[in-house]
Amino acid sequence: MLNVGVLVSGRGSDLQSMIDAIESGYLPEAKISVVISNKSDSFALERAKKHNIPAVFIEFRKKKRVDFDMEMVEVLKKHNVGLVVMAGFMRLVTPEFVSTFKGRIINIHPALLPSFPGTHGHRDALAWGVKVSGCTIHFLDEQMDHGPIIIQRAVDVLENDTEETLSERILAHEHDQLPRAVKLFARGSLEVCDRKVFIKEKLPGFKEWLAQKGKKT
């Protein structure tokens, strides 16, 4: 069983997709052993508690970045975490954090990297006038939104799109593919060779799997 630690800052809909995937039977290989937020009012913490998952708030203000990260490491180690998922975690982590969980941190970003890294992926994509955007799930390395890409899904950008409407369509793919990425990792089906990630097994996304089974979340 893979113990997953999820880092969040916001409402946690990506976290919810992993919880649903586990509870529905799509992702029996994993367990969310802890959720950590740097925001005390993060709705993601409520979601975790509702599902009896330990939910930990860690204060980041007035602390050195590395000290905050080492507090996270302590909590993650206490919960025997084998994979860290950054699901809407709005902080940069230090190289010390990355090296502690080397090759075992994945991040989800709401744009097609390497385009539009940073905190405003949707806004930047709209401002640039791109016709296609999407989401990227990738391994984390020392640089922001930079590591080897595991999965990308594209979404057409419409002329009247706002950040809200675009993010809603992109999130549908995030909720489908994030559980798939965790499942592939848990099954040892991701092979990383420099910047390339080879997927060694064909698996449906979570929503696709639900549709095949005639189930709903």
- Which of 2, 14, 22, 151 is close enough to bind ligand GRF by CB under 6 A? 14
Q: Which stretch binds ligand GRF (CB under 6 A): 11-19, 26-34, 92-100, 194-202?
A: 11-19
- Which of 45, 73, 108, 190 is close enough to bind ligand GRF by CB under 6 A? 108
- Minimum distance between the CB of residue 10 and ligand GRF, rounded to whole angstroms? 4
- Minimum distance between the CB of residue 206 and ligand GRF, rounded to whole angstroms? 14
- Which of 30, 39, 47, 110 is close enough to bind ligand GRF by CB under 6 A? 110
Nearer to ligand GRF, 11 or 187 (CB): 11
> Which among 79, 109, 138, 175 is annotated as catalytic?
109
CB 7 within 8 A of CB 85: yes
Nearer to ligand GRF, 24 or 187 (CB): 24
Q: How many chain residues interact with ligand GRF (CB under 6 A)?
A: 15
What does the chain look like in DSSP terms, one character per residue?
A: -EEEEEEESS--HHHHHHHHHHHHTS-TTEEEEEEEES-TT-HHHHHHHHTT--EEE---TTS-HHHHHHHHHHHHHHTT-SEEEESS--SPPPHHHHHHTTT-EEEEESS-TTSS-STTHHHHHHHHT-SEEEEEEEE--SSTT-S-EEEEEEEEPPTT--HHHHHHHHHHHHHHHHHHHHHHHHTT-EEEETTEEEE-S----HHHHHHHHT---
Alpha-carbon span 34 to 203, nearest angstrom: 26
| 120 belongs to the binding site for ligand GRF (CB under 6 A) | no
- Which of 5, 82, 88, 205 is close enough to bind ligand GRF by CB under 6 A? 88
- Interactions with ligand GRF, residue window 134-173 (CB under 6 A): 135, 167, 171
| 181 belongs to the binding site for ligand GRF (CB under 6 A) | no
Cβ atoms < 10 Å from Cβ of 120: 14
Has 138 been annotated as catalytic? no
| 85 belongs to the binding site for ligand GRF (CB under 6 A) | no
| 93 belongs to the binding site for ligand GRF (CB under 6 A) | no
Phi and psi at residue 153, to the nearest 5°: -135, 135
Alpha-carbon span 171 to 86, nearest angstrom: 15
Nearer to ligand GRF, 43 or 187 (CB): 43
* Chain positions contacting ligand GRF, by CB under 6 A: 10-15, 87-88, 108-110, 135, 167, 171, 174
> Which residues are identified as catalytic?
109
